[in-house]
Amino acid sequence: MIRKILIANRGEIAVRIIRACADMGIRSVAIYSEADRFSLHVKKADEAFSLGSDPLAGYLNVHRIVNLAASTGCDAIHPGYGFLSENPELAAACARRGITFIGPSADVIKRMGDKTEARDAMKAAGLPVTPGSDGNLENIEEALELAEELGYPVMLKATSGGGGRGIRRCDTAEELQRNYQRVISEATKAFGRADIFLEKCIVDPRHIEVQVLADHYGNAIHLYERDCSIQRRNQKLIEIAPSPQLDEAQRQYLGGLAVLAAKAVGYTNAGTVEFLLDADGRFYFMEMNTRVQVEHTITETITGVDIVEEQIRVAAGLALRFEQHEIVHQGFAIQFRVNAEDPKNGFLPSFGRISRYYAPGGPGVRTDAAIYTGYTVPPYYDSMLAKVIVWAQEWEDAINRGERALRDMGLQGIKTTIPYYLEILHHPQFRSGEFNTGFVEAHPELTQFSQKLSPEDLALVLAAATAAHTGL
């Protein structure tokens, strides 16, 4: 087995991997920038090493990370999500140095990271793919001609895009002309490539993704689906497993497609195959993420499978411990991404010192976080502070438990998305389980919530006022 893992990441996913290492008796090594010196992942790892003062450069330096892994005696690197997690250069550099990369091969990462190549591979495997360009666009004239053929609206996308970046919806030829150079510019800045492609826009679809696991011996299984339709500007906010919008026949069909996709490209380790579901019940392959997902937690919750542990086992050369018929799902799990943002002010980032924090608990509640009372949230990284995950046997009960957990969570000093999520939980469309990716934009009134103090918060305010008045 692997004995020591360098975690090429930060924040809650680094803490999550450190915990998996501890469960498996594996030593963990953290890396950090100066801005992350007091982060929780640094405190929890067996060893921690500085990357220097730049808040980002160290986390994105392939050779420095691999050299550090080698010099500290690590026999594996786990990339987490974001940063270098889908960078084939890191996987290739690990292979050259004899270090195990906990993920798929560099060739598979490169192939599935190129969205046009991924589309071609899925079409060849027989998966339904959204109609669009064959390969990358050569010029605006080609884009306009194809858009006219497909019919508006269409989507311009960066070939190497991800995380909601490098994407523009175009409802008219004028918008297509206006956005063409903009997407190229975004793609170049964010991903280092100017390649873009065009596809038909599926209006207000449901965003459904399937978790897969595959080993080096040809075994591949799915762990059912997650519904990621509650999102803002292509950024997921609330995720659900399994989807309350699918019946069992759709669930089995989609799981089969995901396994077919994984086998078609020789996939190994954990991955996610993402689909769009249109209003007529048709599924379309969208992309494959070659890493652990932020929302892997809810799949773990409904199946009992520790996905990060399975990643490590597969990377170590072990076969999957499960066959498909052994994977069952039970109940519903919901994950809330608690972001340091102010929903009442256009989701403006809210960074600074956390004056008070405690995680919710009780039956069916899990919190993955990397924050604590007194921690100062730096302004250089993604705004997600924590993930609150709830489970219940029935959909309605899961919603109610989610409300209880969010109200139980104590997080003061900065603005968060918690009050906004409470508004969503009360909305009848969400409670009915019938929503799509247009939900957030269709309900801007949900950001106009009234901020109510909990009894605990009110007691703190009164105590502070009394202390100030008496001079204590």
pLDDT band, residue 115 (cuts 50/70/90) = confident
The angle subtended at Cα 31 by Cα 55 and Cα 340, nearest 5°, is 50
Residue 366 gets the label, from left (phi > 0), alpha (psi -120 to 50) or beta, of: beta
pLDDT tens digits for range 238-260: 999 999 999 999 999 999 999 99
Q: Is the pLDDT of residue 456 over 60?
A: no
Mean pLDDT of the chain: 94
In the residue annotation, 291 being an active-site residue is answered as yes
**Cβ burial 232-269 (10 Å sphere, 16+ → b, else e):** beebbbbbbbbbbbbeeebbeebbebbbbbbeebebbb
DSSP string, 73-106: T-SEEE--SSTTTT-HHHHHHHHHHT-EESSS-H
Name the one residue in this structure whose structure tokens are 């799981």: 255
Share of the chain above pLDDT 90, in %: 89
Domains and CATH numbers, the chain: 4-102 (3.40.50.20), 131-200 (3.30.1490.20), 206-455 (3.30.470.20)
pLDDT tens digits for range 258-307: 999 999 999 999 999 999 999 999 999 999 999 999 999 999 999 999 99
DSSP, res 132:
B
Mean pLDDT of 409-417: 97
Two tokens, residue 93: 């550099």
Q: Calculate the CA 140 to chain-centre distance.
A: 32
Distance from C-alpha of 225 to C-alpha of 302, rounded to nearest angstrom: 10
Distance from C-alpha of 366 to C-alpha of 351, rounded to nearest angstrom: 24
pLDDT reported for residue 472: 47
Two tokens, residue 217: 């011996």
pLDDT tens digits for range 166-192: 899 999 999 999 999 999 998 888 788
Catalytically annotated residue among 226, 291, 313, 337:
291
Whether 183 contacts 168, CB under 8 Å:
yes
DSSP, res 324:
G
Q: Is the pLDDT of residue 459 over 60?
A: no
How far CA 73 is from CA of 44, 339, 398, in Å, comes to 19, 35, 44
pLDDT reported for residue 464: 47
Please list, in sequence order, all residues whose beta carbon lies within 8 angstroms of the beta carbon of residue 330, skipping any fewer than 6 positions away: 302, 303, 393
Closest by Cα among 265, 257, 253, 271 to 218:
265
pLDDT band, residue 466 (cuts 50/70/90) = low
Closest by Cα among 207, 244, 212 to 392:
244
Q: Is the pLDDT of residue 453 over 60?
A: no
Distance from C-alpha of 353 to C-alpha of 121, rounded to nearest angstrom: 47
pTM to 2 decimals?
A: 0.92
